[in-house]
Amino acid sequence: MKRMLAALLALLLIVGGLPGAAAVSTSASSAILVDGETGRVLYAQNPEERRLIASITKLMTALLAVEHCPDLSETVTIRPEWCGAEGSSMYLRPGEKVTLEALLYGLMLASGNDAALAVAGHCAGDVEAFVEQMNRRAAELGMVNTHFANPNGLNDPEHYSTAADMAKLACVCMEQEALARIVGTRSITIAGRSFTNHNKLLWRYEGCVGMKTGYTEKAGRTLVSCAQREGQRLIAVTLNDRDDWKDHAALFDYGFASYRRSVLALAGREVQPVPVTGSLCRFVPVRTASDVYYPLAEGEQVRAEILLPNSVKAPVQAGEEAGRMVFYLGDQPIGETALVYAASAHVDSAGDEGLWDRFLHLF
């Protein structure tokens, strides 16, 4: 493969952000702001510090539920051991029959600890097996500083996470359509119960689309929130934050003002053609296969590296992958797109040596 450095491609280089964005700080013990599409960290304060996380634990509980039991209309018969859980509750009754969807609303809007036990027991057979699944999923997501001891977030020395790990979890949660819909619901009446979301940012911050609150006396106030504007999704996490509503609004303001979602590539744009041998077609055009976006601050410069063969032998089929275009911020790769052939090149029927090649040999 030929490696061609396209130094600061004029049409692809974006200088992002808006001038004069104010600095930001929080009252939290730990905090992080990330771009939900790329995972880029836009702000961090003790992001890897292990702490109690309270009811934002329920994001993992809900994620496993929609992944393992996608039919939310399933009926769940409530067992006695799931009822009367300590702390917040949706007030389940033994023998009651409710849908999994109703349990998830009770879990995410009312923060029902009984709902967490019911979801765990229904999806895994028992709570202990579900907690094992929670820890396996955390490992799969790269949540290296996280360990779960229960599905609801009640205090336990073996139950902890970090702001950075919870941001990873939140990004995945928002990719689940059903879960994103539930956490973004302000209020609902379902299964004979009315729930109002504890997340006040849904009313207070323009573009907030939900997530989860948490509180215990030892953990303090914990909050995971998500906001979207002009196609850009930001995730904020604060742990032990006495002023979390204000802090999350400030983090989002900072992120949207300082890191604009910038276009690095658009699908269908032609790049350099590739020479073809064994065909009357001398060159075959190459196009980008997908859009590439990345949040950029003012003054940041992106370079693109194009990886294509020096030449290709016919036949070439339109749509086949020809190579890749990789984008770098400094030495860090930040995105890429496949490059595909935009046309076909057929083998010259005159034989291995094409008519054009034989004509050139005459001279």
* Catalytic residue list: 55, 58, 111
Under 8 Å CB-to-CB from 294, ≥6 apart: which residues?
Answer: 38, 40, 261, 262, 264, 302, 327, 329, 334, 335
Instruction: State the number of CA atoms in the 13 A half-sphere of 154 facing the CB.
Output: 13
Cα 356 from chain centre: 51
The residue type found at 203 is: W
Rounded to whole angstroms, the Cα distance separating 324 from 276 reads: 18
Rounded to whole angstroms, the Cα distance separating 3 from 30 reads: 42
* The two structure tokens encoding residue 220: 């303090």
Under 8 Å CB-to-CB from 105, ≥6 apart: which residues?
Answer: 182, 185, 188, 190, 195
The residue type found at 92 is: L
